[in-house]
Chains A and B, each alone.
Chain A
Amino acid sequence: MAADVETIDTVNALAEGGYKWGFSTDIEMDLAPKGLNEDIIRLISSRKNEPEWLLEWRLKSYAAWLTMEEPDWAMVNHPPIDYQDLHYYAAPKKKPGPKSLDEVDPELLKMYEKLGIPLKERAILAGVELPEGEAPQVAVDAVFDSVSVATTFRSTLAKSGVIFCPISEAVQDHPELVRKYLGSVVPAGDNYFAALNSAVFTDGSFVFIPKGVRCPMELSTYFRINARNTGQFERTLIIVEDGGHVSYLEGCTAPQRDENQLHAAVVELVAMDDATIKYSTVQNWYPGDVNGVGGIYNFVTKRGACRGARSKISWTQVETGSAITWKYPSCILQGDDSVGEFYSVAVTTNHQQADTGTKMIHIGRNTRSTIVAKGISAGKSNNTYRGLVRVLPKAEGARNFTQCDSLLIGNQCGAHTVPYIESRNATAKLEHEATTSKISDDQLFYCRSRGLSQEDAVGMIVNGFCRDVLKELPMEFAVEAQKLLAVSLEGSVG
């Protein structure tokens, strides 16, 4: 528990106003010229020393992207993105993929320090092993702009057969696995941003859990955008074979800049028979300033395929950052008796816009899904839940339960709920509930009359509102997430 307390203190210390993770790290960068064309894609592929099939896949994705239009159905507004005004490759000048932490640029280590989170992971990154039993061990992969810079605990994991490495390395070391699964859940032409990512992705994490293996520790990746005018397009691929189990955590930050930066990641999960994947995200990209200047455009495609019988994929997300969030972590419930879960907290303040939710596609028999989404809007922000539950004709006995709750703080914001419920099987049973409320003056006064400050009272009530989601997070993330919620909403009430 010590680390948690320390983390809270750190977050508190950082909580002195504005975005707390908005520094940029001064590291020499290897930047590709701005713009997107086949040559840039060839450049990325050659820098990564990729096999021919992958370059072809990228070029095909690029060709598909050229024929597509940016989607406009989400409740978000932004000026047109100039895709030619971005760098599609940025890497620290030091050679990528250091063999040990000693090779890591000290500036990078300093950056982890400044991140405040994750302390435990930073300690590990810095080579300090925690005493046995003090805390669950967490293996970390850190992705800095386009390149994965350090992955810890690889040898420990390898002993149990777990592969956890940058995807660029997996392309070299496990090409058969990457080739088999890359694009198998999110096809290259799935949507505009997925196509873009498929064309230009530079790094991300790769996880493989073999048959019957329960991953001995949490796996964690920290993504950070650092270079100016850089798009970050990471690609994550997690494959869990029969009976395997993994819990994967993802954290995100970005420096404070007054131009918008593009982030278009793709995450693909594959769960075979009896496999379980738990994927947790705390997204805290730079949200822009109080006037809505700057911030990350977060256009992410996350999808998991429950291919095997009795497989389970559970998404938990706490989204407090980004100027715009466009994100629908989904489950394709193909295997009979497979289970999909989506637990989400999305907080928007100032001028943030979030359009987020999930898709649960019931294909197999007796497939079950649960959706719990909590949206909190403050300031002049707009917060939309958009979710699809689709039951196909063969999904006998499918079940879904959806609960969407919105909390409005102040009368300049918006909270929206857009569920799509489609059933083509009479034996399926779907339930959806949504409510909208505010923090009542009575609740605030009650807390204050017991001695809590206004801000603490808001924090406590909001955390109570989000309880059903936060309890799904791994312990070490849950505490951080709670504080993050309180910090995000500072100054929103009163």
Chain B
Amino acid sequence: MLEIKNLEAAIGDKAILRGIDLVVPKGEVHAIMGPNGSGKSTLSYVLSGRPGYDVTGGTATFDGHDLLSMEPEERAALGVFLAFQYPVELPGVGNANFLRTALNAQKRARGEAEIDAPGFLKLARAEMKRLSMPDDMLKRNVNVGFSGGEKKRNEVLQMAILKPKLAILDETDSGLDIDALKIVADGVNSQRGPDFSAVVITHYQRLLDYIVPDRVHVLSAGRIIRSGGPELALELEANGYAAIVAEAA
């Protein structure tokens, strides 16, 4: 379970998150929506431990562990996965090598047995087939020369292989055509289960047609100003953010 209490964060002198309260129980998918600059991406980075963000107040725990005091790799080993809005290119680093190294580093940290190369390939191929990805994706360098859609699919492939307990999807839908969007949504939906929860960050309601959230939260100026069921997303789509922001003010 993810529990965020009064979380405040800043970049340098600029306060971005101004007191976020959010609980995502095990097995649930929550959507966070909000206008540009509301702090959506900052929230995802603070939860995953990106350097450069100062937590100035509040707490965030996952299954009782204090996330904010952990290194990024420790959070990953705990089961926190961030699907990047802009996946990073790693020239010369093969996708398969990268994924297997990451998977084994996490297994090692959790005291589990590592997976050997043939076992990994089998696992990866199976997941790729499910995500309709060509095999050569494994051979290519991590995200190098990938189209926007390929990069996002690669993020979903990583999620499928690393099997996180908490996935944070940071505008994974941006720049995707409808087919790619469906594949990404299928990837997330296939992970859904009692031990999987997700925070889906998005600007548009469109993705939520495919990943139906249990709860929807509206983020504005670093605070959650409204929460509700999936219907809230439709309301936002119909009326825009301005109405809700004005109403909350």
Contacts and interface: CB of A to CB of B under 8 A. Distances in A.
The reply to whether A and B meet directly (CB within 8 Å) is: yes
Contacts of A442: 88
Interface in B81-104: 81-82, 84, 87-93, 97-99, 101-103
A403 to B, nearest CB: 12
Nearest to B158: A450
Interface in A334-368: none
B202 interface: no
Nearest to B98: A460
Interface stretch (B6-14, B48-56, B132-140, B215-223): B48-56
Contacts of A450: 73, 76, 81, 98-99, 102, 158, 162
Nearest to B83: A449
B73 A452 contact: yes
A443 B72 contact: no
B92 A456 contact: no
A446 B98 CA distance: 11
Contacts of B106: 451
Given A442-B88, A445-B51, A453 B93 contact: no
Given A446-B84, A450-B162, A456-B101, A464 B141 contact: yes
A171 B75 CA distance: 64
Given A447-B102, A451-B102, A460 B73 contact: no
A453 B92 contact: no
Interface in A448-465: 448-454, 456, 460-461, 463-465
A464 B92 contact: yes
A433 interface: no
B24 interface: no
Interface in A402-458: 440-443, 445-454, 456
Interface in B146-191: 158, 162
B208 interface: no
B122 to A, nearest CB: 18
Given A446-B90, A463-B93, A453 B50 contact: no
A466 interface: yes
Contact of B91 (A448, A453, A456, A465): A465
Contact of B51 (A441, A452, A461, A468): A441
Interface in A227-243: none
Nearest to A1: B117
Nearest to B52: A441
Nearest to A469: B92
Which of A440, A450, A460, A465 counts the most B-chain CB atoms under 10 A from its CB?
Answer: A450
Contacts of A449: 48-50, 72-73, 75-76, 81-82, 84
B95 to A, nearest CB: 11
Interface residues of B, number: 33
B101 A452 contact: yes
A448 B90 CA distance: 13
Given A441-B51, A464-B141, A452 B102 contact: yes
B73 A448 contact: yes
Nearest to A450: B102
Contact of A452 (B52, B87, B105): B105
B112 to A, nearest CB: 12
Contacts of A451: 73, 76-77, 102-103, 105-106, 109, 162
Interface in B105-141: 105-106, 109, 141
Contacts of B49: 445, 448-449
B93 A464 contact: yes
Nearest to A459: B101
Contacts of A94: none
Contacts of B109: 451
Contacts of B82: 449
B197 to A, nearest CB: 17
Contact of B105 (A440, A446, A453, A467): A453
A453 B73 contact: yes
A347 to B, nearest CB: 15
Contacts of A456: 101, 105
A225 to B, nearest CB: 33
B71 interface: yes
Contacts of A440: 88
A439 B93 CA distance: 13
Nearest to B48: A449
A468 B92 contact: yes
A447 B90 contact: yes
A466 B102 contact: no
Contacts of A465: 91-92
Contacts of A443: 88-90
Contacts of B99: 450
A467 B142 CA distance: 13
Contacts of A461: 90, 93
A474 B88 CA distance: 31
A339 to B, nearest CB: 24
A63 to B, nearest CB: 49
A443 B141 CA distance: 13
A450 B78 CA distance: 11
A255 to B, nearest CB: 34
Contacts of B97: 460
A468 B102 CA distance: 22
A467 B98 CA distance: 14
Nearest to A443: B88
A471 to B, nearest CB: 10
A335 to B, nearest CB: 33
B221 to A, nearest CB: 26
Given A451-B77, A453-B73, 19 more contacts: A445-B49, A445-B72, A446-B84, A448-B49, A448-B71, A448-B72, A449-B81, A449-B84, A450-B73, A450-B76, A450-B158, A460-B97, A460-B98, A460-B101, A464-B91, A464-B92, A465-B92, A466-B92, A468-B92
23 contacts: A443-B89, A443-B90, A445-B88, A446-B84, A446-B87, A446-B90, A447-B98, A448-B71, A449-B73, A449-B75, A449-B76, A449-B84, A450-B98, A450-B158, A451-B76, A451-B77, A451-B105, A452-B101, A452-B105, A453-B105, A460-B93, A460-B98, A460-B101
The 10 closest A-B pairs by CB, nearest first: A464-B92, A464-B93, A467-B92, A451-B76, A448-B72, A446-B88, A450-B102, A451-B106, A451-B105, A448-B73
Interface of B: 48-52, 71-73, 75-77, 81-82, 84, 87-93, 97-99, 101-103, 105-106, 109, 141, 158, 162
